[in-house]
Amino acid sequence: MITNTGNYPNSLEHGFVQDDIIVSGSNDQKIKVWNASTGECIRTLTGHKDLVRALAFDPLSGRLVSGSYDRTVKVWDLRTGKMGREFQGQYASHIFDVKFDCSRIVR
């Protein structure tokens, strides 16, 4: 079990993605990918310039969408950890929530 022992300080958003994987977004501007059984951090996704507030995952494509107070939405390939797409300059306020729709965001 992962507890708030500094592994993901001030985590704002977290949840099971698939199988034994958990993702978390935090005040430290990072997204962490965790092994739920061992508590090991498998991967750290960086690129946001402010706290990560929202996460959504599409198990069919393996993509994760993140929203941040930096007013950007990013699309990540969880298998590789690479950011595939970024939406910026379109929002006047912080991003509080995202929902994944593969047919609308990324083909």
pLDDT band at 4 (very low <50, low <70, confident <90, very high): very low
Alpha-carbon distance of 42 to 74, in angstroms, equals: 19
The encoded tokens of residue 80 equal: 């590789």
Is residue 63's pLDDT more than 50?
Answer: yes
The pLDDT of residue 89: 74
Distance separating alpha carbons of residues 81 and 69, to the nearest angstrom: 21
The model's pTM: 0.76
Residue 107 predicted with pLDDT over 60: no
C-alpha 102: how far from chain center: 16
Cα 21 to Cα 5: distance, rounded to the nearest angstrom: 18
Question: Please, which residues bridge with residue 56 across strands?
Answer: 65
Token pair, residue 81, equals: 């950890």
